[in-house]
Structure 1
Amino acid sequence: MKNVLLTIAISLAALTLSGQTPAYQQPFNQDTAWQTCPGVSGTALNLGSSVAVRKPVMLPAVLQQYEGSYTVQCWTKAAADNESYVLLSTTTSDDPKQTGWKIGVQANGAWYWEIRNGNTGYTYYPTPQRQSVRDGRWHQLTYSFDAAKQEAAFYLDGRQMAIYHIPGIPAANSPGPLYAGGIPGGDIAEWNTFNGALDELLIYKTVLSPQQVRSSYARYFTPQPEMTLQPGKQLTVMNYNIWHGGNETGKGTGPQRITDIIRQSGADIVSMQETYGSGEKIADALGYYFYLRSNNLSIMSRFPIGETLDGDRPFFNGGAYIRLNQQQKIAFITNWLSYPFDYWDMLEKNQPLNIDTLVAGMEKHNAAQLKATLKVIRPYIDNAETVPVIFCGDLNSGSHLDWVESTRSLNHGYVVPFPQSRLMLEAGFTDSYRKIHPDPLKDRGITWSPQFPQAFKDRIDYIYYKGKLRPVKSFTITSHPVRYPSDHAALVTVFSVE
């Protein structure tokens, strides 16, 4: 009777704090179908090594044939082990192409998430240095899917760790039931059983907000405080193309050097290009919130990432509101543009450059992409006096502010009215580097390329702004104590937030 009353009380608390009614709730009370142990509340499903019969539990297919948004939440305590395990799964086998999602524990102790629909799949593999659940303590895992925005959000212990844009996934529809504690395997169905305990499984047919998830964790433990920008403090922003995930100087050492550069710069928010699988480990090493827009573009932030913004094609553009504190937020946008042909290579080889052909090509490719992006983000631009906008990117183009009469000798005698930089100024943005360094002959701000000394030098990475921001410092980083890991300079601008 005591357990029943406790379960009812916890259920009512969950409804009050989340403001939502679970579509399914499994508190793992004592039952003949499984063994129990003390849980985060009442009893928990015990699948530890002290239990003789350790079979995964088949639960109702709550989300089967469901095409809307949902949130899945559970508590886990993983025993000391060196194997990887599935905690929750809507797939019925280890077939990598089977439709469905999984939440589990990696062999290194960190948790993980996977989802797949045929040939389309996404994974979130955080690091044990920041997100281990194999430490003998209870941990809350939360995963939500926003069907309208095609986004997944991941939480550990009430804190939002990452947001992924995952197009091509048809909501939660899966052929099988929900398994808790592993996927049955082997002659007696225990081969893959999780070594540990599970408790308080909740499924909502809606997306819980970060505040609701935080409140659900706070019922049991005190959440970590969120970082905020204190009044009067400056905001440091970086744009960084990290060159194939930072892996070119080593798949371990390269991303670590990228992390070193970001940390030493003091950057609060990073607009990243060529993320390519290194985002989780860089964000975890920094202790930052992480938004993966595509395999190319991502945002990392010391401060909480709020609602993501409508954007153009994910490979080229994406953004999010960054909550600096309770009173202030900014719209932060990351970008990448292509180019019609390699004019830098032509100049390196002293080949003649037809300016009309170059500008026409840029108009057709580079500037056309930018126009499409500016059209989509127009509502945020128009609202910049209320919510400032920072627009960063590797735009793969020189600037009309740099290729001028005074710099002819540095640019093989050419003056070029590059269209992308003109479009940004026409849209009301200010080039932060040129605001601080107005003379392109004195301060070139070169970002291409510190990796290749013979490359033609150009400024192709930018941090633009609009609204109540004032740049106080802007600089590039092209060195590392051991070896610089990217072919682009990191560009940093420090802002005063008015």
Structure 2
Amino acid sequence: MTRNYDGLGSPEAGAAAAREIRVLAFNTWHSGSKVAHGTQLITDLILSTRASIVLLSEATDATTAVAAELARRGHEFNAVSSHDTGILTVFPVEDSADMQWMVKARLNIDGRRVTAYSAHLEFRWYASNLPRGYGPGVPAPGEFAEYNFEKLPGGPVPDPAAIQRVNAASKRPEVISVFLADAKTELAQGSSVIMGGDLNEPSLLDWTPATANMFDHNGVVVAWESTRRLHDAGFIDAYRSMYPDPATHPGLTWPSDNVEVDIAELAWAPEADERDRVDYIFARGDALTLATVGIVGPRESIVRGTRQLEITMDDFAATPSRWCSDHKGVLAIYQLSD
């Protein structure tokens, strides 16, 4: 399924209608270094989607490099960067802060404040591997540490309590709580808040009874803690709010296919269906109204060590001819009201 994304493919980045905010969340995969001309491909993606706020993960070098490439092509973006996350935006940046697992920027959009956060959370303690029969990559001496990311000799671990223990040990939920405390202050000061990126954790809205026998969940239903905290705090998951059925519109973002990269580099569990939605855009604020949202990237994913075309009903906002990541991105378009 493909919607009209108001001129997708136009070369004019940031030329959206007044008060329209086009938010792109994208894991650059080692700053785009895994494929040839990665910086140019990231730049192409930003221009083709006409994104006005870009939330980058795994962007150690990408944020400044892409900003420079955008400027070379005649498009001025303000850049805010931390060690691993970055924000590129056409809007004025009033202030910014490095929050370790996130970078934050206060933006001035026609006199209204929108505070944007780009996130990339811990990739180890990847608890969704357990019900699929693979180790969660826990450092020693933690639970399941002896298996690293390898296949579990005893098979899948479908115990929700064990899954939640490993997930909690990642500290991802704690990072979300730090974000929520900071965002609460921003909201109290009249700002709207947008947060997005690669959380390295599935959603409580995705591992439901409807998907218990899909994607090698092996009957497991999990209220994943990071997204639970976001949900309870009133943050709206853009993709799932528009497409509430995770069975028909799973919105899978990892592992994405990339025809220029060997399959062995694209997936962790070669004998399992490890597809998940781990890349998100969340928002909160009465002034923000979601207009549309879609997945950006190849229509193929890696399933049991093979490249497979997705046959879901998911909404793809764009499918570039070349791709530089092992993740798909998310594009959400908001209207900011007075």
State the TM-score, normalizing by the size of structure 1: 0.50
Aligned to 1:169: none
Is 2:184 aligned against 1:400?
no
Q: Which has the higher contact order (CA 8 A, sep 6+)?
A: 2
1:229-284 per-residue CA deviation (whole Å, 9 max, x = no partner) reads 753x521101111100011012xx11211221222112111011111212222112
**How far did residue 301 of structure 1 move?**
0.5
Taking only aligned residues, the RMSD between alpha carbons, in angstroms, comes to 2.2
**How far did residue 345 of structure 1 move?**
4.3
Aligned counterpart for 1:362 among listed residues 150, 156, 167: 167
Is 2:194 aligned against 1:390?
yes
> In 1, Cα distance between the equivalents of 2:158 and 2:198?
22
1:294-344 per-residue CA deviation (whole Å, 9 max, x = no partner) reads 2201100122222225x53x2x0221112222x223111111211552345
Gaps of 5+ in 2: 1-13, 134-150, 258-265, 299-318
Is 2:317 aligned against 1:483?
no
**Aligned 1:307-318 pairs, distance under 5 A:** 307-309=95-97, 312=99, 314=100, 316-318=101-103
Q: Is contact 1:323-1:329 (8 Å) kept?
A: yes
1:410-465 per-residue CA deviation (whole Å, 9 max, x = no partner) reads 12221111011110012221111111111111111111111337561101111111
Q: 1:443 to 1:228 in 2, by over 3 A?
A: closer
Q: Is contact 2:288-2:336 (8 Å) kept?
A: yes
**Aligned 1:175-214 pairs, distance under 5 A:** none
Q: Is contact 1:340-1:362 (8 Å) kept?
A: no
Q: Is contact 1:448-1:457 (8 Å) kept?
A: yes
**How far did residue 402 of structure 1 move?**
0.6
Q: 1:239 to 1:481 in 2, by over 3 A?
A: closer
> In 1, Cα distance between the equivalents of 2:123 and 2:34?
22
Is 2:162 aligned against 1:351?
no
Aligned counterpart for 1:241 among listed residues 23, 27, 33: 27
Aligned to 2:125: 341
Q: Is contact 1:477-1:491 (8 Å) kept?
A: yes
Aligned to 1:371: 177
> In 2, Cα distance between the equivalents of 1:304 and 1:367?
31
Is 2:290 aligned against 1:471?
yes
Amino acid at match of 1:338: E
Amino acid at match of 2:78: F
> In 2, Cα distance between the equivalents of 1:281 and 1:339?
24
Q: 1:260 to 1:393 in 2, by over 3 A?
A: same
> In 1, Cα distance between the equivalents of 2:122 and 2:93?
27
State the TM-score, normalizing by the size of structure 2: 0.72
1:48-102 per-residue CA deviation (whole Å, 9 max, x = no partner) reads xxxxxxxxxxxxxxxxxxxxxxxxxxxxxxxxxxxxxxxxxxxxxxxxxxxxxxx
Q: Is contact 2:297-2:320 (8 Å) kept?
A: no
Q: Is contact 2:32-2:62 (8 Å) kept?
A: yes
**Aligned 1:321-336 pairs, distance under 5 A:** 321-325=106-110, 327-336=111-120
Amino acid at match of 1:361: V
Amino acid at match of 1:269: I
Q: Is contact 1:401-1:440 (8 Å) kept?
A: yes
Q: How many residues align?
A: 263
2:326 alignment partner, SS class: coil
> In 2, Cα distance between the equivalents of 1:280 and 1:340?
27
Aligned to 1:424: 230
Is 2:266 aligned against 1:461?
no
Amino acid at match of 1:474: V
**Aligned 1:74-223 pairs, distance under 5 A:** none
Gaps of 5+ in 1: 1-226
> In 2, Cα distance between the equivalents of 1:285 and 1:293?
16
